[in-house]
A = this chain, B = another copy of it.
Amino acid sequence: MALDDRKLDVLRAIVEDYVATQEPVGSKSLVERHQLGVSPATVRNDMSVLEEEGYIRQPHTSAGRVPTDRGYRLFVDRLSTVKPLSPAERRAIERFLVGAVDLDDVVHRTVRLLAQITRQVAVVQYPSLARSTVRHLELVPISTTRLMVVMIANTGRVEQRQVELPAPLDETQVTTLRRLSNEKLCGSKLSDTPPLVQALIDEAPVELRAATVALSSVLLETLVERHEERVALAGTANLTRGGLLDFQGSLRPILEALEEEVILLKLIGEVEPITRVRIGDENEIDNLRATSIVSAGYGPGVTIVGGLGVLGPTRMDYPGTIATVRAVARYVGEMLAQN
């Protein structure tokens, strides 16, 4: 059955009121707070239909209605208009991010900013190495048989690893190795490196062969295979807002999930620039069935190099949160582009 416009209005009103008050909303208070132009009885009939269709439900008989995950989904998809940020908010974002000196700094500031504005848990992924290109490889001799390899990516990420050499190398050999690897790998995407690394090994002069193999294996192992993703987290204290009413009193599973980097990456590791909303049940992780996640990809220009997002109760201010996440993602992208 198709829902007519008024029923949709009723649903929207229910969502808005419930988000605002955190209490089941009844027919009478609904008509009082919104100009629906009909009587409570009519609203009751509409509510009955909405309940049959699974958009709202009653916590108990003789209580008001509460939106279901499906109801929120409809609300987000068709009923809400993204509310533009206030100029003050825009300025706050800019001011907060503009002083960043470092990639680490950018990420930390961003995650705190997101948590603060949305008053929820914020997660920011560092630019993914898999989607970065190599800007420079530096080899630093630590001892004659030990090398530190520093990889600088175009996204600002810098990773370093130590390599144990099979045989000592002297200064000029290190220089040669540095030149060779930079020639081969600079400018290429990290996910494309395996064949290039093979070529590097093949072309290396025979006396550097062993060292090249050691170097390559470290590069492949730590940077490509188990692709080193990193995330930053902030605002967990916000989970306690709403005094245990959300999350039926147990933060446990949520805090547990937030400790797993793998899970966080699954949540916000976006590939598309689109803002994405996962509501309650739609979430794949069982521990987070009581939460919603709003995430977006970010990157300099149109390419996406990482994701960010916030996590909160399903009962959240979707329009506001979506607007904030989207805006922050765009600003972060701009920050990165400037480097």
> Residues of A with Cβ closer than 8 Å to B?
101-102, 135-136, 138, 140, 142, 148, 150, 152, 158, 160-162, 222, 234-237, 239-240, 244, 249-252, 255-256, 258-259
Cα-based distance from A222 to B256 in the complex (angstroms):
34
Residues on B with beta carbons closer than 8 Å to the beta carbon of A250: 240
Docked pose: A148 CA to B258 CA in angstroms: 34
CA A160 – CA B158 in complex, angstroms?
Answer: 8
Q: Are A259 and B236 within 8 A (Cβ)?
A: yes
Rounded to whole Å, the gap between the CB of A312 and the closest CB of chain B is 15
Contact of A140 with B136 at beta-carbon distance under 8 Å, contacts A222-B101, A237-B255, A240-B250 already known = yes
Set of chain B residues within 8 Å of A234, measured between Cβ atoms: 259
Answer whether A150 and B142 are a contact pair too, CB < 8 Å, given A234-B259, A255-B240. no
Q: Which residues of B contact A148 (CB under 8 A)?
A: 136, 152, 158
* Distance between A324 CB and nearest chain B CB, rounded to angstroms: 19
B residues less than 8 Å from A160 (CB atoms): 150, 158
In the bound complex, do residue B138 and residue A140 qualify as a contact, i.e. CB atoms below 8 Å apart? yes
Would B240 and A251 count as touching, CB distance under 8 A? yes
Given A150-B140, A158-B148, the answer on whether A252 and B237 have CB atoms closer than 8 Å is yes
Q: Which residues of the other chain, B, contact A244 by a CB distance below 8 angstroms?
A: 244, 249
CA–CA, A101 and B161, complex, Å: 9
Return 14 A-B CB contacts under 8 Å, by A number. A136-B140, A136-B142, A136-B148, A140-B150, A148-B152, A150-B160, A158-B160, A236-B255, A236-B258, A237-B252, A237-B255, A237-B256, A237-B259, A244-B249
Shortest beta-carbon distance from A176 to chain B in Å: 15
A93 to chain B, nearest CB (A): 20
Q: Indicate if the CB atoms of A152 and B142 lie closer than 8 Å.
A: yes
Chain B residues with CB under 8 Å of A102's CB are 161-162
Complex: A162 Cα to B103 Cα, angstroms: 10
Tell me which residues across on chain B come within 8 A of A258, comparing CB atoms: 236
Q: For A138, give the chain B residue with the smallest CB separation.
A: B140
Known: A136-B148, A140-B152, A142-B152. 14 other contacts (CB 8 A): A101-B222, A135-B142, A136-B140, A150-B150, A150-B158, A150-B160, A235-B259, A236-B236, A236-B255, A237-B251, A237-B256, A237-B259, A244-B244, A251-B251
Tell whether, in the assembled complex, residue A150 and residue B138 are in contact, meaning their CB atoms are under 8 Å apart.
Answer: yes
Query: What CA separation (Å) do A50 and B99 show in the bound complex?
Result: 56
Measured in the bound complex, the distance between the Cα atoms of B101 and A314 in whole Å is: 40
Q: Which residues of B contact A259 (CB under 8 A)?
A: 234-237
- Nearest first, the 8 closest Cβ-Cβ pairs linking A and B are A237-B255, A237-B256, A240-B252, A138-B140, A158-B160, A236-B255, A240-B251, A150-B150
Cα-based distance from A44 to B20 in the complex (angstroms): 53
Q: Whole-angstrom distance from the CB of A339 to the nearest CB of chain B?
A: 9
